[in-house]
Amino acid sequence: MKEFSVFDIIGPRMVGPSSSHTAGAVKIGLVAHRLLNGERPKEVLLTLYGSFAETGFGHGTDRALLAGVLGVAPDDSRVRFSLLLAKSENITVEVKKGGEEMDHPNTARIFVRTENGRTFTVVGRSVGGGNIEIVEINDMEVSFTGDYPTLIAFYADVPGIISKVTAILAFEGINVAFMKVFRSAKRSDACMVIETDAQVPKSCLSLIRNEVDGIEEMCTI
């Protein structure tokens, strides 16, 4: 017989009405917030697919996604007022429905342009109970849930980079729980997703940046 946790029974701490369409959407947005790496967003485009597109506006999915991008937590009452928050910060927001059929009905794509002109995209899906899976960043297939502290690094696909990064994590006493590597083509752009037992400190991130050539972009979730 399956054992159920308290989380399975009562669900996540959140501002309603829906764990999938609201809490999960906020968490997808929070991944985009972490990818900002301290930059301020200037433009946000939210594309809703499947059930998100059909019923998301009634559930406030667009506001929930935007709240996450702005760094607002799922249980923060400001989730409902994210459009006003964005307006107060002179952030341009556009929401549209996507016509493509996705693998999961609760899917959203987030496009962000920062004040410095950097752009990135995140595609995530809300899989129930406030849980999510991120399946794409910057048009590259990835897969992680955010259940563990996660280090994401984009790099040039050359020998030695993965071993150098994991060696630094080991030296710093950071235990790797799960690791996946993705790449667009051999010797091209690549992405490593490393889920760890403890949050990777900023000092460790600085060490990786200084010691490992070929790292193009890096953040923690």
DSSP per position, 102-139: PSSSEEEEEEEEETTS-EEEEEEEEEETTEEEEEEETT
Confidence (pLDDT) at 18? 54
Number of domains in the chain: 2
Q: Are residues 204 and 121 in the same domain?
A: no
pLDDT at 9 (0 to 100) = 31
Same domain assignment for residues 128 and 156: no
Mean pLDDT, the chain, whole residue set: 88
Question: Do 124 and 160 sit in the same domain of this protein?
Answer: no
Would you state the pLDDT for residue 100? 82
* Residue 113, domain member (yes or no): yes
User: What confidence tier does 39 reach under pLDDT thresholds 50, 70, 90?
Assistant: very high
Whether residue 116 is found in the same domain as residue 154: no
pLDDT band at 19; cut points 50, 70, 90 = low
The answer to whether residue 1 is domain-embedded is no
* In-domain check, residue 185: yes
Q: Which of 134-138, 150-154, 180-184, 204-208 has the lowest mean pLDDT?
A: 180-184
The answer to whether residue 145 is domain-embedded is no
Question: Do residues 107 and 184 both lie within one domain?
Answer: no
Domain span at 29:
6-138
pLDDT digits (tens, 9 = 90+) for 66-125: 999 999 998 898 999 999 999 999 999 999 999 888 877 899 999 999 999 999 999 999
Domain membership flag for residue 204: yes
Instruction: Say if residues 9 and 89 touch (Cβ distance below 8 Å).
Output: no
- Nearest 5 degrees, angle CA 211-CA 201-CA 179? 75
Candidates 110, 58, 51; CA nearest to 86 is: 110
CATH number at residue 171: 3.30.70.260
Q: Which residues of the chain form beta strands (DSSP E)?
A: 41-49, 92-97, 106-114, 119-128, 131-137, 140-144, 150-156, 176-183, 189-196, 215-220
Residues 99 and 28 in one domain: yes
Please state, as a whole number, how many other Cβ atoms lie within 10 Å of the Cβ of residue 75: 12
Kindly state whether residues 202 and 161 are assigned to the same domain.
yes
* pLDDT at res. 154: 94
Indicate whether 210 and 110 sit together in one domain.
no
- Co-location of 131 and 161 in the same domain: no
Q: Check whether 16 has a pLDDT greater than 60.
A: no
State pLDDT tens for residues 169-189: 999 999 999 999 998 777 788
Q: In the chain, what percentage of residues exceed pLDDT 70? A: 90
Choosing from 75, 110, 138, the residue where a domain stops is: 138
Same domain as 112, residue 202: no
For residues 197 and 18, the model is more confident at 197
Same domain, 13 and 120: yes
Query: Do 15 and 103 belong to one domain?
Result: yes
pLDDT at res. 20:
60
pTM (two decimals): 0.85
Quick check: 134 and 122 in contact, CB under 8 A?
Answer: yes
CB 100 within 8 A of CB 136: no
Among 138, 167, 196, the domain boundary falls at 138
Where a domain ends, among 114, 138, 162? 138
For the domain that residue 28 is a member of, what is the CATH number?
3.30.1330.90
